[in-house]
Chains A and B, each alone.
Chain A
Amino acid sequence: MQNPYIPYPVEVIKIITEVETKDQKTFRLAFLNKQDEENFKYMPGQFAELSIYGKGESPIGIASSPTQPGYIEFTVQKAGVVTSALHAMEEGTKMGVRGPLGNFYPIEYLEGKNIVIVGGGFAFTTLRSLINYMIFGENRKRFGKITVVYGARNPGLLLYKDELEAWGKRDDINLNLTVDKGDATWKGREGFIPAVCEQVAPSSENAVVIICGPPVMIRFTLPVFFNLGFSKENIITSLEMRMKCGIGKCGRCNVGSKYVCKDGPVFTLAELDQLTKEY
């Protein structure tokens, strides 16, 4: 019987320090066994347990897109035991990955619709996966307009800078970057995400918004989208709860009758309304 607790062995093949504070890094992992890579079929929005023997495991959203074969990526904020151990790693180290876990962004539902993506801070990871998925080759035709609003406290804290630049040059993404406070080199917008969303004012006509970020950001941004006419069915977000097993057994991550690890982490606001507010 396949043991869902045993991680696939992977090697850290690349580490990218994303931000100037150096506490957010992207880890590129390659499977040591080809078969495991095939078993690890994922979709944007899913997460995995990054597993370091001797330290423990942490649930982390998958930041790469399934359209990028050969490796998977995770962007990790240094926080406690496991994430600090990760940050201390060097390229070439072996570790483990358990997954893919959880549900994913409802790609089929998103097809044919205009997509608005709103990300704040380092919660941008699975949104990046989704964007890369949607703009990849022939995939792009399956979706309508793509509008992105992504912000961080300052320019140094924006993730995936090379990619942002490349996206900015495409005419099939409306990319809106913003920082709370710019610096000498920053030529883009300044302002909080809710205000920028108000200015960009994407139409709610045949549109879905996917929003991830710190709770306060979400709290102030939601009214903007309600005013624009988005229904709760068309606002999608991703929840975080403390996790261990990631497969609905250890009883830790439930919100009401749903396990965030198994039934989530992706929910529409309409679905969240059915749940208790215990997250």
Chain B
Amino acid sequence: MEKRSIKKDALAGIIKKVAGDMLVYAPVKEEDGVFFRALGAGMEPQTTYANTKNAPKNIFFPHTEKMMKYTRTDKGMEFVENGDPAKDAVLFGSRPCDAKSFTLLDLLFDQEKYKDPFYCDKREKTIVVTQACVHPPYSTCFCTSVDGSPTSEAGSDVMLTDMGDSYLVEFFTPKGEKLLKYFGDAKPDAAAEAKKKEIAETAAAEIVSHIPAKEIKPILDVNFEHPFWNTIHQRCLACGTCTFLCPTCHCFDISDEVKYDDGIRVRNWDSCMFPMFTQETSGHNPRPSQKERWRQRTMHKFKYYIDMFGAISCVGCGRCVMYCPVNIDIRKIVTDISKL
């Protein structure tokens, strides 16, 4: 594995230099938080943020995305062209939990039969540069409960670790090595490896939220009808915040937008928390109340995804915990389920 060492104050300059050559998404300060944005002239990439408010999934799976264009002819609307092709890009500064979410989304979008071309195109052309969490930023972080860690490599092509006075830069993949030239020639010293190991251990030990996420699958297997499901959803507003902020939620809607003679088919994020999500034209709704929707959300993350792909569909970023307006806490739900 190629490794480099850079001075800490050099990082922002490197990000800007890369941005001169290709599309770069980086954390940028905006209004009440830090968000991933395509870095334009005069925009300052953040290097010392806790985590972004939104997960970076929208770089591969945008909130709204053009799938195809069509136009009116005298025989009806006809196909014109595909949505826009992806550009070579770099995602700078995802956190390890968010980087891991890409490996989970890959399981769904990058299957042999029915590869999702929109997601895969962007994913293949984007280099993921992750910033290790030397000090886990929030008390709500629980990555270590879901097979992750503050220094997990999953989903990252390159990882930056804050070593105090420098960054250790590790290039995990050939794709990541395409960025080698921007990081100079300085190699980390002999002590770096041991120091990184120590950082990884301290960081993991600093995680304060621990939940039995990996133990509840057998309980969920047999408790679809348990009265417990009557207890979690009552105060849920069905706002969808939890699903929109979730790095692994991937549900979408497909709709058509026409202006005069031209139209596009777009896909937009959708949410299993919304009442209309499963409602059929007849009025029949297999998930008629928020109870069934919350059961679906829990089951999907901690049972169905394991049945389908062998992995829990949660990376422990804690966003849903932090931003739910009525404080519904997935950590508590998982813990309660473990006691059923």
Contact = CB atoms under 8 A, between A and B. Distances in A.
Interface of A: 1-7, 9, 11, 52-57, 79-80, 83, 89, 92-96, 240-242, 244-245, 247-257, 262, 276, 278-279
Given A241-B286, A250-B253, A251-B250, A53 B265 contact: yes
Contact of A53 (B70, B277, B300): B70
Contacts of A95: 76
Interface string B291-312: 0100010011001100110000
A242 B288 CA distance: 13
B204 to A, nearest CB: 31
A183 B337 CA distance: 58
A257 B114 contact: no
Contacts of B22: none
Nearest to B309: A257
17 contacts: A1-B120, A3-B82, A9-B79, A53-B76, A53-B265, A57-B254, A79-B282, A94-B76, A242-B277, A242-B280, A244-B252, A250-B251, A250-B252, A251-B272, A252-B278, A254-B296, A276-B224
Contacts of A240: 280
Contact of A251 (B82, B120, B252, B258): B252
Contacts of A245: 252, 254
Contacts of B287: 278
Interface string B64-76: 0001101001011
A245 B255 CA distance: 11
Contacts of B82: 3, 6
B253 A1 contact: no
Given A53-B263, A251-B272, A256 B282 contact: no
Given A241-B286, A242-B278, A254-B304, A55 B256 contact: yes
Given A4-B114, A241-B286, A249-B114, A93 B75 contact: yes
Contact of A6 (B79, B111, B303): B79
A2 B116 CA distance: 9
B256 A54 contact: yes
Contact of A247 (B114, B296, B308): B114
A89 to B, nearest CB: 8
B256 A257 contact: no
Given A53-B76, A278-B292, A249 B109 contact: yes
B139 interface: no
A252 B270 contact: yes
B116 A249 contact: yes
Contacts of A255: 286
Contacts of A53: 70, 76-79, 256, 263, 265
B281 interface: yes
B216 to A, nearest CB: 15
A83 B281 CA distance: 10
B180 to A, nearest CB: 28
B84 to A, nearest CB: 13
B114 A54 contact: no
Given A53-B70, A278-B286, A244 B253 contact: yes
Contacts of A93: 75-76
Nearest to A240: B280
Which residue, of B108, B255, B256, B258, has the highest number of chain A Cβ atoms within 10 A?
Answer: B256
B281 A79 contact: yes
B279 interface: yes
Contacts of B296: 254, 278
Contact of A249 (B70, B76, B108, B304): B108
Contact of B114 (A89, A248, A253): A248
B115 interface: yes
B174 interface: no
B117 interface: yes
A96 B263 CA distance: 15
Contacts of B265: 5, 53
A252 B270 CA distance: 9
A57 B68 CA distance: 14
**Interface pairs A-B: 8 shortest CB-CB:** A53-B77, A251-B251, A257-B307, A53-B70, A247-B114, A79-B281, A80-B281, A94-B75
Contacts of B308: 257
Given A94-B78, A241-B286, 6 more contacts: A4-B115, A5-B68, A54-B258, A56-B256, A247-B114, A248-B111
Contact of B115 (A1, A251, A276, A279): A1
A248 B251 CA distance: 10
